[in-house]
Amino acid sequence: MNDASGPDDRSGRNDAAGPRGAEALRARAEAATTGTPYRYRWTEPGFDLVVDVPQPSGRVTQVHTYRVRLRPAEGTFTLTDVVRTHERGPFGTTQKTVESGRARYRTWSRSLDGTERHSFSSAEGHRLIRGVAQELGWRETRPATEKAALVAGALGGLIAVGTLVALAVVFWP
């Protein structure tokens, strides 16, 4: 018998497809965040892992959300990074930004007296999610927005190359 928490007798790997596979992935992700700075949050299409990014300045707060959307029927998931930054400026001004997509960055800071050290790497959350998903047989797919950005970038590159070739033909002595 094949269930979401045990290996498939034919392939030796776990079965990701179906609602039980989604429940198993959610439970495993929640358990993996125990004792870490990551906060697990259940969502209808999957789950989020939320972490506060340490900042050297007390004027800036940053929260990184790893948004995971599950497609149990296909046994696939998408991973999107959402980075929210809130900066308090002089005279009570504030600036809030939200970036969404793939974020790969690393921060580190140390207190002035050297007693406190903080570091953060967005890759750690990616590894945590991908590791748990891979153990259960899930495959990662790119979000539609990332696919569209790749197509737009390739099209822009082709237009740039075409323009350079046309200019070379027109202005070549």
pLDDT at residue 70 in the model: 95
Radius of gyration of the chain (CA): 22
For the question of whether the overall pTM of this predicted structure is more than 0.75, the answer is: no
CA distance 114 to 56: 12
CB 80 within 8 A of CB 147: no
How high is the pLDDT of residue 7?
A: 42
As to burial, measured by CB atoms within 10 angstroms (0-12 exposed, 13-18 middle, 19+ buried), residue 132 is buried
Q: What is the mean pLDDT of residues 30-34?
A: 95
Instruction: Name residues whose C-beta falls within 8 Å of residue 163's C-beta, 6 or more positions apart in sequence.
Output: none
pLDDT band of residue 65 (cuts 50, 70, 90) is very high
pLDDT at 1: 39
Q: What pLDDT score does 146 carry?
A: 63
- Would you say residue 149 has pLDDT above 80? no
Q: What is the mean pLDDT of residues 119-131?
A: 93
Region of residue 12 (phi > 0: left; psi between -120 and 50: alpha; otherwise: beta): left
Query: Which pLDDT score is estimated for 47?
Result: 97
Q: DSSP state, 117?
A: E
